[in-house]
Structure formats: structure tokens, C-alpha cells
């Protein structure tokens, strides 16, 4: 089956610890994205990458870091510098097309910092 | 990217058509209208997109006004499983990203 996987589904961490969220896709998409969602809110873009070894900050990149060493993988690290890390994190991927791109989303990881 | 405005919530009776409006009065000529939905605690799911013409697929129909300043997503026979938050997004060309607002929370009632 082709798709995007995120693991784990639920994650608990103590305050002050860094934590890395996994995102893997086998759709052969060049672009990958990380979004954050707070209760009752829309999605906000954290980071995105349109090609291996390159990525750009989104609207709320502070306190987060990413890497894109492989086309299939785009892990997100939530650092201790992120003031309010408890949220629902969504990863997406898409082709890179001049006119349009449909984004495919993973099931999400719900992070709770205690 | 142009901004979109959607009602925060709507109800629809099961089996009836659900018509979800979206205003995008500042849309420019090269921007597409996309619709996604998100069922509680899951990732958003693509529904449909269009540029100028009306579009239909197995999930829904998208009606875009002639001036392109608004659109309507139509779920022809809503079921309880269509209860979700529906997002209307306007996006332009390569390099621009999706902006997900709060969307419309559709409740399909038995």
C-alpha cells in the first residue's frame, strides 16, 4: 500500500526533553510538510521540503528542527525551546507541480508534554 | 495566497445534500480552490479542487462562481460518516503552500 506513515500515534514526554516525530512516505513524492494543529484550530505550517537536503521554515518554525536526508523520510524534532509543544502533529507529502499539488496527509502524532 | 472565509459550523440531515460555502473574494487568476476534510483526530483528506470550471468526482461536486470569488462544495447525499471539519483553501502556483483556516464543522444528523 502506498501512503504516509507517522509514528507513534501518541507520544508523551517530560518538559525539557527533545523528541523526534517520524514521517515516512512511499509515494515517491518530492515535497514533504509538517503541520501543527491545536484544539479547534486549523493547521499551521512548521517546515517544508521540496527536495532532498533542502528545507524551508514555515509560519511557526521556532523551537522545531527537521532533516531531509532521504526522499522518503522527513523527521521533525520538537526541541526544549518550543514553549508549548503539546499539540497534534501532521505530516504531508505531494508532488512538485507548477500549477497544483494535492497534499496527502499521514494519520498524525499527538504529542503531550507533561 | 488569497484568504478564505467559511461559516464555523453547519448541520445537515442524513440523506440530504450538504452545501458548504466558501468566500475567496481576493482570489487571483492562477489560484486553485481546494477542499479537504478532517474527521476527528485524523489527517485531512483531499476531496476536490478546481480552477474555473465546476468539478465532480466520486466524493463531491465543486461549484465555482463565474467571477471566482466564491465556491460551494456539495455532498449530494450526506451520511453520518461525512461529519467532519471541511477546509476551503486557495493556493497558487509552485512554491506556495496551503493555508488551513478553522474550516466549517459539518454535523450530519440522523
What is the per-residue pLDDT across B29-78, written as a single tens digit (0 to 9) for each?
A: 888 899 999 998 899 999 999 999 899 999 999 999 999 999 999 999 99
CB atoms B94 and A99 under 8 Å: yes
Mutant choice from A88, A96, A101, A108 vs B, greatest count of B C-beta within 10 A: A101
Q: HEC states along chain A?
A: CCCEEEECCEEEECCCCCEEEEEEECCCCCEEEEEEECCCCCEEEEEEEEECCEEEECCCCCCEEECCCECCECCEEECCCCCCCCEEEEEEEECCCCCCCCCEECCCEEEEEC
Cis before residue B48, ω within 30 degrees of 0?
Answer: no
Least Cα separation, residue A17 to chain B (angstroms): 25
Which regions in chain A score pLDDT beneath 50? Answer: none
Identify which of B2, B104, B4, B33 has the alpha carbon closest to the alpha carbon of residue A40: B104
Chain B window 44-73: which residues touch A at a Cβ cutoff of 8 Å? 44-46, 49
CB atoms B43 and A58 under 8 Å: no
- Residue B97 pLDDT > 80: no
For position B3, what pLDDT does the model report? 86
Do β-strands A31-37 and B84-91 pair in parallel, antiparallel, or remain unpaired?
unpaired
**Can you tell me the distance from the alpha carbon of B21 to that of B6, in angstroms, rounded to the nearest whole number?**
6
Average predicted confidence (pLDDT) for chain A: 91
Amino acid at each position: 500500500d502506498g501512503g504516509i506513515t507517522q509514528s507513534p500515534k501518541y507520544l508523551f514526554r517530560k518538559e525539557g526533553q527533545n523528541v523526534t516525530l517520524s514521517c515516512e512516505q512511499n509515494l515517491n513524492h518530492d515535497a514533504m510538510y509538517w503541520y501543527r494543529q491545536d484544539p479547534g484550530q486549523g493547521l499551521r505550517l512548521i517546515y517544508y521540503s521540496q527536495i532532498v537536503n533542502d528545507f524551508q521554515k514555515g509560519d511557526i518554525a521556532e523551537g522545531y528542527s527537521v532533516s531531509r536526508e532521504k526522499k522518503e523520510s522527513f523527521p521533525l524534532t520538537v526541541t526544549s525551546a518550543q514553549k508549548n509543544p503539546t499539540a497534534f502533529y501532521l505530516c504531508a507529502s505531494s508532488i512538485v507541480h507548477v500549477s497544483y499539488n494535492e497534499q496527502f496527509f499521514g494519520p498524525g502524532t499527538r504529542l503531550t508534554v507533561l | 495566497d488569497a484568504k478564505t472565509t467559511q461559516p464555523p459550523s453547519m448541520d445537515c440531515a442524513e440523506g440530504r445534500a450538504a452545501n458548504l460555502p466558501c468566500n475567496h473574494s481576493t482570489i487571483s487568476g492562477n489560484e486553485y480552490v481546494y477542499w479537504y476534510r478532517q474527521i476527528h483526530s485524523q489527517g485531512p483528506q483531499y476531496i476536490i479542487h478546481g480552477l474555473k470550471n465546476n468539478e465532480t468526482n466520486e466524493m463531491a461536486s465543486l461549484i465555482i462562481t463565474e467571477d471566482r470569488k466564491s465556491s460551494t462544495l456539495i455532498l449530494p447525499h450526506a451520511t453520518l460518516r461525512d461529519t467532519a471539519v471541511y477546509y476551503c483553501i486557495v493556493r497558487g502556483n509552485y512554491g506556495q503552500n496551503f493555508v488551513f483556516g478553522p474550516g466549517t464543522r459539518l454535523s450530519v444528523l440522523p
